[in-house]
Structure 1
Amino acid sequence: MPSDADTLAGLLRAWRGRLLPADVGMESYGRRRTAGLRREELAQLAGVSVDYVMRLEQGRSRTPSAQIVTALARALQLDRTETEMFYRAAGLAPPGAGTVSHHIPSGVQRMLARMSDLPLAVFAADWTLLHSTPLWRALFGAPSVLSDPSQNLIVQTFVENSIADIATAHGGPDIFERALVADLRRSAAILTGDTHFQTFIAQVREQSPRFAALWNEGRAAAHQSMVKTVHSPLVGDVTLDCDVVTVPDSDIKLVVYSATESSPDAAKLDFLRVRAVHSQIPADR
């Protein structure tokens, strides 16, 4: 029989107890009887109910879904080994090597908590949105990952055709589309063992002739930084540098927008930043 410290309930309590609100970008309030995050704080970060967190910690629920485990692991800032342990404690097989990972390394999560005032988002190798800051959502008028976990930039660009109305790459949409497909092709060449990823690509090729044509060109390269104009309904057009950073030893990508200091575009970002803070929308985890 495993000791309590090795059970899903015991692990969840231990991991919650080692985090402070400041570690996850939250303010501490009230008197705390024990160290660590409160259950309601963890529930908020993971997008689950407080009652469900309580049932997991009390051992009354022992079989969370892979989606719940992923959300809790991200909220708890677990590293890859701990995340695999969490999966196994829940009776699930950990995501294998050579597959698209939604794991954000704990060090990156701490960095993101300190960069919450920037328009920044994190994407998986298949360009599924994993995290966005309040300013990102204010800039693009986008929902949070917690409210809509299915957001995918490939689908938005080539299937829904919604990105052109939101932002325009300087040099034309062709530059952005080619960069996006080349980056996806590069990831597909590496993650050959992920059948879901390969199926996703096949489906987009069927749904979008434009994507299929670019895919068939055979280009494979990491996404490059570029200048874009974001068409914000709140502040009008905002011209920004868009930088894409791939985290070392990981497939995830950080996308961050910035403007030259003291420029009109920086002033527009400042306006949106204040609006984002006043709306009190928590950052995704």
Structure 2
Amino acid sequence: MTTAEFGKVVRRWRDQVSPETAGLPVGGHRRAAGLRREELALLAGISVDYVTRLEQGRATNPSAQVVEALARALRLSGDERAHLFRMAGLVPPGPETVPAYITPSVQRLLDRLVGTAVGVYDAAWTLLMANPLYAALMGDPSGWRGNERNGVWRNFLGPGSRVRHTPREQRAFEAALVADLRATAGRYPVDQHLRRLVGQLRTNSDRFAELWDSGAVGRHEAAHKTVEHPQVGPLTLDCDVLTVEGSDLRIMIYTAEPGTQDAERLELLAVLGTQTLVG
């Protein structure tokens, strides 16, 4: 299948998805009912220039991560998603790989959580989707690529996160994160991307290797967290992690106790959004 044909398929599906269907506000004059390129790029977490080059047949060999992001942004069904992978010359992910597909029904649920900071991760803690408030709270992930989107990698080899831990809390958090990843590796033993991630972490992080070799298995679960935000200051929030049955997705939700200063700061972030607060 040619690159031009892949681009035509993306363009055709983009024209068929309304902003309302994609959970976007509708305003101003629109020449077509479908998504603009800028909107598709925002939803998929890729650049507008790359979407343009894909649709014009000037970008070759889109990665599985990019195809997955486009399928998610276009709200494709399972069969449509598989078709898009094949159009890109890729084998659709099978049951032996860590699921990264957000079904339309789960996406509709996420669309209704307006005003709530929500991020969706796969079972290996790779960020799949972050709504605007989550991005404003935790940092804009739209420019992150590859392992930069993986929470385990960011914690052990990358810049970490805005969550503030005491030394004791940090040790417990790291242990839980590694135990969770080990459990995921046990469920998806032939996932090549996951095996490469674990190999890189074991090779480059003594702390990760120590925890991995300890053999602990567990889950990273809900917690009370303090987020150190560079503009509005610290926010102490409840962080709940919901697992989607059948797809192994992790929906991470940050909320504040009503009537508190933390709730006020979270509301301020919701008003100002990522454009003002995230660089």
TM bucket by the smaller chain?
0.7 to 0.9
RMSD of aligned C-alpha atoms?
Answer: 2.9
Q: Identity of counterpart residues, as a percentage?
A: 40
AA matched with 1:71: A
Give the whole-Å Cα distance in 2 for the aligned partners of 1:225 and 1:27. Answer: 31
* Counterpart secondary structure, 1:117: coil
The verdict on how the C-alpha distance between 1:61 and 1:236 changes in structure 2, with shifts beyond 3 A counting, is: closer
Per-residue deviation at 1:151?
Answer: 2.3
Decide which moves more: 109-118 or 254-263: 109-118
Contact in 1 for aligned 2:118/2:134 (Cα 8 Å): yes
Q: Which residue of 1 aligns with 2:235?
A: 238
Decide which moves more: 96-105 or 47-56: 47-56
Q: Which residue of 1 aligns with 2:26?
A: 28
The verdict on how the C-alpha distance between 1:219 and 1:42 changes in structure 2, with shifts beyond 3 A counting, is: same
* Counterpart secondary structure, 1:246: strand
The verdict on how the C-alpha distance between 1:12 and 1:195 changes in structure 2, with shifts beyond 3 A counting, is: closer
**Aligned: 1:147 with 2:143:** yes
Structure 1 residues not aligned, in runs of 5+ = 1-6
The verdict on how the C-alpha distance between 1:169 and 1:239 changes in structure 2, with shifts beyond 3 A counting, is: farther
AA matched with 1:25: G
The verdict on how the C-alpha distance between 1:175 and 1:268 changes in structure 2, with shifts beyond 3 A counting, is: same
Contact in 1 for aligned 2:121/2:249 (Cα 8 Å): yes
Give the whole-Å Cα distance in 2 for the aligned partners of 1:193 and 1:109. Answer: 28
- The C-alpha deviation readout for 1:90-123, integer Å capped at 9, x for no partner, is 3221123211233222222222233242222111
Count of equivalent residues:
270
Decide which moves more: 190-199 or 19-28: 19-28
Give the whole-Å Cα distance in 1 for the aligned partners of 2:224 and 2:174. Answer: 14
The verdict on how the C-alpha distance between 1:69 and 1:161 changes in structure 2, with shifts beyond 3 A counting, is: closer
Structure 2 residues not aligned, in runs of 5+ = none
**Aligned: 1:198 with 2:199:** no
- The C-alpha deviation readout for 1:17-71, integer Å capped at 9, x for no partner, is 4422122222223455554324443344332435335425xxx878644343222
Q: Which residue of 2 aligns with 1:82?
A: 80
User: What is the TM-score when the length of structure 2 is the normalising length?
Assistant: 0.83
Given the alignment, which residue of 263, 266, 279 partners 1:266?
263
Give the whole-Å Cα distance in 1 for the aligned partners of 2:52 and 2:12. Answer: 18
- The C-alpha deviation readout for 1:232-278, integer Å capped at 9, x for no partner, is 22222211111111111112211111111111211111122222166
AA matched with 2:132: P
Q: Which residue of 2 aligns with 1:66?
A: 64
Decide which moves more: 272-281 or 172-181: 272-281
* Counterpart secondary structure, 1:97: coil
Given the alignment, which residue of 117, 120, 125 partners 1:119?
117
Given the alignment, which residue of 188, 200, 225 partners 1:228?
225
